[in-house]
Structure 1
Amino acid sequence: MANLLEMIKQAGLDAMEASNPLHILYGKVLKNNPLEVNVDQRFTLSSDFLIVPEHLTRYEVDLTHQHEVIVDGVNVTTRNALPEKLVIREGLSEGDPIILLRVQGGQKYLIMDKVASG
């Protein structure tokens, strides 16, 4: 009888879950590499459970280049210009507040964006 009650209870919970497939949660990045996020100060998710969109990943470009110029009839190669990579997007950093969507079933969490402090 107790087993049947547990099955009924679980079926009810599953039905409730199915009727509300989207949950918005707030979290904070604990570590960047490997990624760990604390959600609502209740639990921590590792990168295995997180879906990170491209706009929240670090993106940098290498613009290092040299020029060849002629000085007094002699070809001269300049030093490397822009030797450091140019960061286009920082990506997620430790301490960033974020907003997440829980995928139905709760197995994966999509990081929507950083939350702007205002």
Structure 2
Amino acid sequence: MLDIIKKASLGAVSSANPVHVLFGSVVGTNPLEINIDQRFTLPRELLILPESVVNQEWESGDKVLLLRVQGGERYVILDRVVDES
């Protein structure tokens, strides 16, 4: 019985996409807006900004690394992506 419960809970978590890593581009700075893969734009209300990025000066065109929170309702901005080329 315990094994069945464990398998069911693991299946539920994996099917819910607990974490998804995404890249985005800043398209607006006041308020902050991030475009994902030219498919949709995330308004400031959906963005979670950790302390490490709160005081950064964002510019349109900046690339950012994001994590989608389980369920896809909110997105955490991890940091700005630096192109080394």
Pair in the same fold by TM > 0.5: yes
Task: Please give the residue correspondences for 1:1-118 in structure 2 after superposition, counting only pairs within 5 Å.
Answer: 15=12, 17-18=15-16, 20-58=17-55, 90-118=56-84
Q: What code does the residue aligned with 2:81 have? A: V
What CA distance in whole angstroms lies between the structure 1 residues aligned with 2:51 and 2:59? 14
- The alignment covers a number of residue pairs equal to 73
Shift of 1:91: 2.9
Q: Secondary structure at the match of 1:48?
A: helix
* Bigger Rg, which one: 1
Report the Cα offset of residue 39 of structure 1.
0.7
List runs of 5+ in structure 1 lacking aligned partners: 1-14, 59-89
Query: Is the 1:57–1:92 contact (alpha carbons within 8 Å) kept by the matching residues of 2?
Result: no
- In angstroms, what is the RMSD of aligned CA positions? 1.8
SS of the residue corresponding to residue 18 of structure 2 reads coil
Question: Secondary structure at 1:117's aligned position in 2?
Answer: coil
Structure having the larger proportion of residues in helix? 2
TM-score between both structures, scaled by the size of structure 1: 0.56
> Structure 2: which 5+ residue stretches go unaligned?
1-11
SS of the residue aligned with 2:15?
A: helix
CA distance in 2, matches of 1:17, 1:103: 14
TM-score (normalizing by structure 2): 0.76
In structure 1, how many angstroms separate the alpha carbons of the residues matched to 2:15 and 2:70?
8
